[in-house]
Structure 1
Amino acid sequence: MSSAVSSTSRPLAVALVGCGIIGVNHSRVIVRHPDLRIVALVDSVPEASHRLADLIADELGAERPAEFTTLGEALSASSVDLVVICTPSGLHVQLAEEALAAGTHVVIEKPLDVTLPRARRIAALAAEAESRGSVVSVISQHRFDPASVAVARAAHDGAFGRITSGVASVAWWRSQEYYDSGQWRGTWALDGGGAVMNQGVHTVDLLVWFLGRPVEIFAHTALLAHERVEVEDVAVATVRFESGALAVLHATTAAYPGLSVRLQVHGSEGSAVIDDDQLEYFYAAGDGEPRNQASEQVAASELRGADKGPDGFIVGHLRQYEDIVDAIRTGRQPGVRVEDALVSLAVVRAVYLSATLGTPVSFEAVLAGDLDDVDVTAGAFADVLVGGSQ
C-alpha cells in the first residue's frame, strides 16, 4: 500500500503489469520521467517480464525491476505507489480492482475495458478510490497533443461559433500476420472489438471531447480483408450530439498501405483539421486568415519525438504521464478520468449495437446498461466472407 507522496519526496514506485508491446512502450516513457521509477514487472509469462527487465537495465540504463507473475505478488513484495495496467483489454477490471484495493494510484491503457458492465465496475471503484485520494486515469494521450488542445479550446470557448459537424477517420492497415501474432488479437473476449475498439478508440475520444455529449449512433460494420478474425476490420457510423451537431465516424484496418488519422471540426464561424496529430487547418472567429498552424502548435519533430522507431510513441504519453504525476503530487483530478473513458467506450459499444440491430441506438440507453443483454459477438457481418464470397 502506498501513502500520499509529497511534491518534494522520492520518485513514485511503479508496478507495470503486462510486458508485451504496449508495456515495453510504457516502460520507455516511465524511465524518462524523473518522478517515476519502475520497481516491479508483472506478466503471467516469465519470459516476457525477463525480456523487458533486460531492456530496462541494458538499453534504457535504469535499475533492473523485480519480476513477478501476479500483481498480488508484486504488491506484497515491495512498496508500490502507481500500478500501470498494459494487459489485453479484457483483463483490466480484475487488475484495477486489485490495485485500488491495495491503495495505489492506477493508470489503465486504453480502452477502459471490453464490456460496459465491467467498465462501470471500474468507474465505481475509481470514484470510491478518488474519494480516498487515489488518482485513476485512462490513457488518452492525444488529448494532450497541442493540436487537440487548441481545437478543444476553440470548440468549447465558442471560437468556432456553433459547432455543426465533425468527421473522424482512422484509415489504417493491419496485416493478417498482425492478427495471427497473438491469440487474443481480433477476439471479442480480449480485444473487445476491431477497428473501432482497438485502433479507433482514441479518435472516438477526441471526437466526443470536441463535440460534446452524444445522443444517437447509427452504424454499419464489416469484415472484408482478413480471415480468422471475430471482429470488424471496417466500420462507419453517424453520431448525433446534444448540441444538434452531426458527425461521421470511419475506422478501418483494411486501408492498404495505411493512411492517416484525420479529424475535422466545423462550426458556423470556424473550422479545424487535424491530420496525424498535426494541426493542418485552423480558422476561428476574429482570427483573420485561415492558417495551417495555431499558435499553440509546436514543430512536427517535437510532436512526434526526436527519436525514431519505438520512441515515436513517447511524446504524447509522456505529456499524459506528466499530468498524472502532477495530479498525484498536488491531489487534483487527472486530465483524463475513468468517466471520460467510460463515455468513449459507450460510443464504441453503441457502434457495435447499432450494426448488430440494424437501427440507430440511444447513447444514454447504452451508457445506462439498457442494451447490455444484446449479443454483438456474432457481428452484423457474420454472412460476409473475405473477398465478398457467399
Structure 2
Amino acid sequence: MRIAALVDAIPAAAESLADFIEKNGGERPPQYPTLAEAFAAEDIDLVALATPSGLHIQQGLEVLAAGKHVVIEKPLDVDLTRAQEIEAAAKEAAAKGIVASVISQHRFDQSSVAVADAVTKGRFGRLTSAIASVAWWRSQGYYDSGDWRGTWSMDGGGALMNQGVHTVDLLLWFMGRPVEIHAHTARLAHERIEVEDTAVATVTFENGGLAVLHATTAAYPGLTVRVQLMGSEGSAVVDNDRLEYFHSKDAGGESADMGLQGGGNQAEQELARYPEEDYKAADPTVYPAGHVRQYRDILSAIADGRQAGVTVSDAVNALAAVRSVYVSATLGQPVLFDDVLAGKYNDLEVRTGSSAAESA
C-alpha cells in the first residue's frame, strides 16, 4: 500500500504533509488541488477524507461517484440530511463492491471489543443504565487557531460533536438504538465561538435502558473519557480506553445480595481473552493506534468483499443522536430520536444555551 496522491486546495498544506511523509521514509507523493485532477492523473483505490467536517459529504459523494473506496474522518458531516444522502450513496456503492467507512477507531480498542462482545453474548444480563463522559479541556487559543473551529457551519457543534462523537458512537454500540433524548447545552468557559463547550443529556433506549451523556471542553486541565455500562448480571467501566472494571455473573466468583461495592473485578482475566498484540499498532509509538486497527479492518473488508466494521449508517445514527441533543437543548424539551432521524426538525436552527458573557 502506498500514498498515491495528496489533495488540498492549499498548496502549502499539501507540501507540508509531503515533507513529513518523505522525512519519515516514505515516497514523496504528488500533490493536486482537486480530487478530479488526482483521479485523472493517478491510479487511486482508496481516498481518506481528513478535511473540515462541513466538506465531508460533498467530497465523499465525489469519491463514490468515481468508483473509489472512501474513509471519512469523524464526524461524518455537520448536516444530518446531507449525511443521509451519502448513506444512500454508500448503500448503492456497496452493491458494486465499494467500501465506505467512517472513522470510529475506539470500536477497535481492546477494552471496547471486550465489552461489546459481552453485550452481544448477554453476559451483563439486561442492560439497565450507562454513563458516558468526555471531560476535556480546549483553550481559547485552540478555537482561535482556525476560522472554522467552533462554528455551526463547519464544525457542526462543539464539545459533543467534535470531541464527544466517538463516545456517542460507543454508547450506541453498547446500548442500542435511542428512543428519547432530553438535553441542555451551554457555552461557559470560551468566547468567540458559536457552539457549546458543555453538554449534558439523558437518553432512553429501545431496550428500556437509561443513560447519562456528558461532554465538555471546559474541564481544566482535562480529565478522562469514561464509559460505564451497568446491567442486571454485570457491569464494566472503560476509562481512557482502558478496561478499568469488568464483572459478569457468569464468570463466577463472589456474589452478594447487597452488591460487592466495586469488588470482584474480572478485568484482567477478561482482557486475556483478547491478546494485546492483536490490538497494537505495528509501531507502538504511533499515536493513532486505533486508526491503524480500523484501517486494517477496512483494507480487509476491501480484500474480502465485505462490509467494513463501521458503516456510514453507524455514523448517521451517531450524528442523529448528537443532533437530537442540540434540538432538545434548543427547544427545551425531550425529543424522539426517530423524529430527528426522519427530518422533523430539519428547518430548526439549533443554538447554544447560556454563554460566559451572558452568565457574567
**Do the two structures share a fold, i.e. TM-score over 0.5?**
yes
Tell me if the contact between 1:220 and 1:237 (Cα under 8 Å) persists in the aligned partners.
Answer: yes
Residue of structure 1 in register with 2:115 after alignment: 151
Q: Matched residue of 1:186: which SS? A: coil
Residue of structure 2 in register with 1:357 after alignment: 331
State the Cα deviation string for residues 304-327 of structure 1 (Å, max 9, x = none). 88645xx222x1111100000000
Give 1:291 deviation, angstroms: 2.2
Percent of paired sites with the same residue: 60
Give 1:285 deviation, angstroms: 2.1
Match of 1:380 among 335, 341, 353: 353
For 1:262 and 1:388, how far apart are their aligned partners in 2?
Answer: 28
Residue of structure 1 in register with 2:13 after alignment: 48
Q: Matched residue of 1:251: which SS? A: strand
1:202-281 to 2 correspondences below 5 Å: 202-281=166-245
Match of 2:316 among 325, 336, 342: 342
Distance change >3 Å, CA 175–CA 387, structure 1 → 2: farther
Residue of structure 2 in register with 1:58 after alignment: 23
Give 1:153 deviation, angstroms: 1.0
For 1:39 and 1:387, how far apart are their aligned partners in 2?
Answer: 50
Give 1:292 deviation, angstroms: 3.3
Tell me if the contact between 1:221 and 1:232 (Cα under 8 Å) persists in the aligned partners.
Answer: yes
Give 1:388 deviation, angstroms: 2.3
1:280-299 to 2 correspondences below 5 Å: 280-288=244-252, 289-293=264-268, 294=270, 295-296=272-273
Residue of structure 2 in register with 1:330 after alignment: 304
Give 1:298 deviation, angstroms: 5.5
Tell me if the contact between 2:130 and 2:230 (Cα under 8 Å) persists in the aligned partners.
Answer: yes
Distance change >3 Å, CA 131–CA 305, structure 1 → 2: closer
Match of 2:345 among 340, 364, 371: 371
State the Cα deviation string for residues 130-187 of structure 1 (Å, max 9, x = none). 1111000000000011100110111121100000000000000000000000010001
For 2:281 and 2:332, how far apart are their aligned partners in 1?
Answer: 40
For 2:309 and 2:20, how far apart are their aligned partners in 1?
Answer: 30
Is the counterpart of residue 98 in structure 1 residue 62 in structure 2?
yes
1:298-317 to 2 correspondences below 5 Å: 307-308=284-285, 311-313=286-288, 315-317=289-291
For 2:275 and 2:139, how far apart are their aligned partners in 1?
Answer: 33
Residue of structure 2 in register with 1:38 after alignment: 3
Give 1:62 deviation, angstroms: 1.1
Q: Matched residue of 2:208: which SS? A: coil
Distance change >3 Å, CA 379–CA 120, structure 1 → 2: same
Q: Matched residue of 2:71: which SS? A: strand
State the Cα deviation string for residues 50-74 of structure 1 (Å, max 9, x = none). 0100110122x11111101111111
Q: Which runs of 5+ in 2 are unaligned?
A: 253-263
Give the counterpart letter for 1:230 in structure 2.
E
Give the counterpart letter for 1:39 in structure 2.
A
For 1:225 and 1:321, how far apart are their aligned partners in 2?
Answer: 36
Structure 1 vs Structure 2 CA RMSD: 1.7
For 2:176 and 2:73, how far apart are their aligned partners in 1?
Answer: 23
Q: Which runs of 5+ in 1 are unaligned?
A: 1-35
Give 1:368 deviation, angstroms: 1.0
Farther off after superposition, 37-46 or 282-291: 282-291
Give 1:79 deviation, angstroms: 1.2
For 2:198 and 2:140, how far apart are their aligned partners in 1?
Answer: 14
Residue of structure 1 in register with 2:259 after alignment: none
Q: Matched residue of 2:340: which SS? A: helix
For 1:130 and 1:254, how far apart are their aligned partners in 2?
Answer: 41
Give the counterpart letter for 1:37 in structure 2.
R
Q: Matched residue of 1:312: which SS? A: coil
For 2:281 and 2:353, how far apart are their aligned partners in 1?
Answer: 37
State the Cα deviation string for residues 356-381 of structure 1 (Å, max 9, x = none). 000000000011111111110x3233
Give 1:303 deviation, angstroms: 5.5
Give 1:221 deviation, angstroms: 0.3
Give the counterpart letter for 1:325 in structure 2.
L
Is the counterpart of residue 184 in structure 1 residue 184 in structure 2?
no
For 2:322 and 2:188, how far apart are their aligned partners in 1?
Answer: 19
For 1:140 and 1:345, how far apart are their aligned partners in 2?
Answer: 12
Give the counterpart letter for 1:133 in structure 2.
G
Give the counterpart letter for 1:42 in structure 2.
V
For 2:159 and 2:340, how far apart are their aligned partners in 1?
Answer: 20
Tell me if the contact between 2:81 and 2:343 (Cα under 8 Å) persists in the aligned partners.
Answer: yes
For 1:343 and 1:192, how far apart are their aligned partners in 2?
Answer: 15
